[in-house]
Amino acid sequence: MKDIKFPETAVIREVCPRDGFQNVKKFIPTEDKVKFIDELASTGVSIMEVTSFVSPKAIPQLADAAEVMAEFNKKWNGKVESVALVPNLRGAENALKAEPDWLNFVFSASEAHNMANTRRTVEQSLEELKKVEEIRGNTKLCVSIATAFECPFDGAVEPEKVLKVLEAVFETGADGVTLADTIGTADPSEVDRTLSKVRDIYSDYPFFLHLHDTHGMALVNMMAAMRLGFNSFDSATGGLGGCPFAPGAAGNAATEDVVNFLERIGVKTGIDLLKTVKIAREMETYGLKIMSHLASSSIGREEKETCSQG
Amino acid sequence: MKDIKFPETAVIREVCPRDGFQNVKKFIPTEDKVKFIDELASTGVSIMEVTSFVSPKAIPQLADAAEVMAEFNKKWNGKVESVALVPNLRGAENALKAEPDWLNFVFSASEAHNMANTRRTVEQSLEELKKVEEIRGNTKLCVSIATAFECPFDGAVEPEKVLKVLEAVFETGADGVTLADTIGTADPSEVDRTLSKVRDIYSDYPFFLHLHDTHGMALVNMMAAMRLGFNSFDSATGGLGGCPFAPGAAGNAATEDVVNFLERIGVKTGIDLLKTVKIAREMETYGLKIMSHLASSSIGREEKETCSQG
């Protein structure tokens, strides 16, 4: 594809410990979580969403957020950037005590989804963001805009809606912004439609994209985004996670599938593919339901390379 | 993606009854096969690979090929084109008695895979093709070139190798040619590399592409191919099938995932998506292991459309 200029490198933000684990019903003991997180941190990944500071009543799985973050800081501080998701001011206050590198404040571009998820209007979430901005001090702030392409209630989300939200976010201030296909039903033409307009205004801004594979389109959407120069993506080892509106469906784009795809088309990720496949398989053995092409295939690159040499 | 001119329409060749069923260990009674095939034929699909005339010792599942083809002709003759896979002259002789619209003669571009699969050199397979050509009469002949991008033994298959095989195939004569990513490990840059060269020589020829989703790249590969004007694809409802080298891995591109993707980016397929999702789910209930994003998702378009209206 010589006529497409893909980015030379990509940044992968590993979100398995947050977006993956939060969807696992049975509580994963903290020491097991920490063990997986340590393994993930050793793959060469540069940034990881480690946990979420959310009400333990809402997501009991992440009730150990402070402890998990403390363990992470002890071992990986200065090596892998840590991200703590926060849904509101209270979460931000709790997160700051645990000293992550990043707060990741999340709300939705579509009113219906934001109300269902945060019980706030978009306007109210933007007000909450201002309060988070006021207290965050030197901690970096990422703002994640959920349902940036499709909403399970409102349908397709107009690019103009996203641009309006972005304007307000940048007015408040942010060190990073994520655009999320929360339910994983966006298609490449929608992704192109919105991201082209975003690119027209914020030409070089390093947006993150959070893509789910619910309808199998995570990689085609990634390809559509890369054509426009976007090169920072969330993914979860093992493809853990998923959309609460789609039980049983595929979850986050699997880190190993993403890394394989990117490296194969010449985009460097710095992540050890074989190690990632191995961790995904360990998660499966541990009892977690993985959704991974590479890890489920006996011709993962390792075997294939052996095979082609033999 | 206004800068990419995708084809306006695509042709989907449904291969579930052959490439899907042949991978199912437990024999599916002929009447159940016929029932599924009838349902698939009623989705709006224009061409279907109905069975394979192969030794019943090699693939016991398809021992009822003649009966299945007879049933198909009775109901769908003139409505849906029928394809019978044949691995050799003997298969072709048997298939011709069952009067399919198409014979689909398969061999591999890579020597190692062709030897493992057919016990012939590529040269010998091309000789066998000539014999099939001589006896086929008015029955249309498709030639499918397996491992056209990657071989599980030889690794990447050079485009020059494929071009050489194509030249010999066209010298013998064929009404259709399929290029297959048999093990499903090709990436979009490989697909682009080979197909660009194929396009340079055979500018308007309506090649079929047979893509597997082993590494999750079926749709990105399809997108890479469509950029070059290719618009005819094999897929299997439920994503049944798979690569014998990758047990447990994803199989053929699922028809419902392909149709959803294509229709969403504006490429018309003529296939009823909801009906296809329904059949995939029926197959799952029947006990077949499906690998389908759409059918496994509670936000298949039907629910989503209801939801967005509500």
How far is residue B231's CA from residue B265's CA, in Å, rounded to a whole number?
Answer: 13
> Which residue ranges make up each domain of chain B?
11-309
**C-beta separation of B11 from B46 below 8 A:** yes
Pick from A152, A249, A298: which is nearest to B293 by CB? A249
Residues with Cβ within 8 Å of B138's Cβ and at least 6 positions away in sequence, in order, are: none
The pLDDT tens digits for B221-263 are 999 999 999 999 999 999 999 776 677 788 999 999 999 999 9
- DSSP, collapsed to helix, strand or coil, labels residue B115 as helix
**C-beta separation of A245 from A152 below 8 A:** yes
Chain A residues within 8 A of B264 when measuring between CB atoms: 187-190
How far is residue A151's CA from residue A108's CA, in Å, rounded to a whole number?
Answer: 9
> CB neighbours (10 Å) of residue A181?
29
Residue B80 CA to chain centroid, in angstroms?
15
- A98 — pLDDT class (breaks 50, 70, 90): very high
How many CA atoms lie less than 13 Å away from B255 in the CB half-sphere?
A: 36
How far is residue B303's CA from residue B305's CA, in Å, rounded to a whole number?
Answer: 5
- DSSP, collapsed to helix, strand or coil, labels residue B78 as coil
Tokens of B141: 């002949």
CB-based contact, A307 to chain B, within 8 Å: yes
The pLDDT tens digits for B31-50 are 999 999 999 999 999 999 99
- DSSP, collapsed to helix, strand or coil, labels residue B286 as helix
- Cβ-based contacts under 8 A for chains A and B: 141
CB-based contact, B285 to chain A, within 8 Å: no
Chain A residues within 8 A of B243 when measuring between CB atoms: 299
**Which residues between 228 and 257 in chain A have a beta carbon less than 8 angstroms from any beta carbon of chain B?**
243, 245-250, 254, 257
The pLDDT tens digits for A170-219 are 999 999 999 999 999 999 999 999 999 999 999 989 999 999 999 999 99
Q: B243 and A192: CB-CB below 8 Å? A: no
- A294 CA: distance to closest CA in chain B (Å): 6
Average pLDDT along chain A: 93
Q: Average of pLDDT values for A286-310?
A: 68
Residue B309 pLDDT greater than 60, yes or no: no
- A260 CA: distance to closest CA in chain B (Å): 8
Given the candidates 2.102.10.10, 1.20.272.10, 3.40.50.720, 3.20.20.70, the CATH classification of the domain at B11-309 is: 3.20.20.70
Helices (H), A119-209: 122-135, 159-172, 188-201
- B177 CA: distance to closest CA in chain A (Å): 23
Q: What is the pLDDT of residue B298?
A: 72
Q: Average of pLDDT values for A100-126?
A: 96
Q: What is the pLDDT of residue A74?
A: 97
The pLDDT tens digits for B165-189 are 999 999 999 999 999 999 999 999 9
Q: Average of pLDDT values for B94-113?
A: 97
Tokens of B136: 């086929």
Catalytic residue IDs of A: 243
Q: What is the pLDDT of residue B246?
A: 72
> CB neighbours (10 Å) of residue B106?
24
> CB neighbours (10 Å) of residue B168?
16
Pick from B188, B224, B299: which is nearest to A245 by CB? B299
Residue A307 pLDDT greater than 60, yes or no: no
Tokens 């299945």 appear where?
B68
- A299 — pLDDT class (breaks 50, 70, 90): low
Q: How far is CA A35 from CA A18, A32, A63, in A?
A: 14, 5, 17
Question: For A272, phi and psi rounded to 5 degrees?
Answer: -80, 110
Determine if residue A239 is left, alpha or beta; phi over 0 gives left, psi from -120 to 50 gives alpha, anything else beta. left
In A, minimum Cα distance to B297 occurs at A249
Q: What is the pLDDT of residue A3?
A: 79
Note the ipTM here: 0.94
The pLDDT tens digits for A34-81 are 999 999 999 999 999 999 999 999 999 999 999 999 999 999 999 999
**C-beta separation of B84 from B103 below 8 A:** yes
Q: A1 and B216: CB-CB below 8 Å? A: no
**DSSP conformation letters of A185-223:** ---HHHHHHHHHHHHHHSTT---EEEEB-TTS-HHHHHH
Q: A308 and B153: CB-CB below 8 Å? A: yes
Q: What is the pLDDT of residue B304?
A: 47
- A300 — pLDDT class (breaks 50, 70, 90): low
Catalytic residue IDs of B: 243
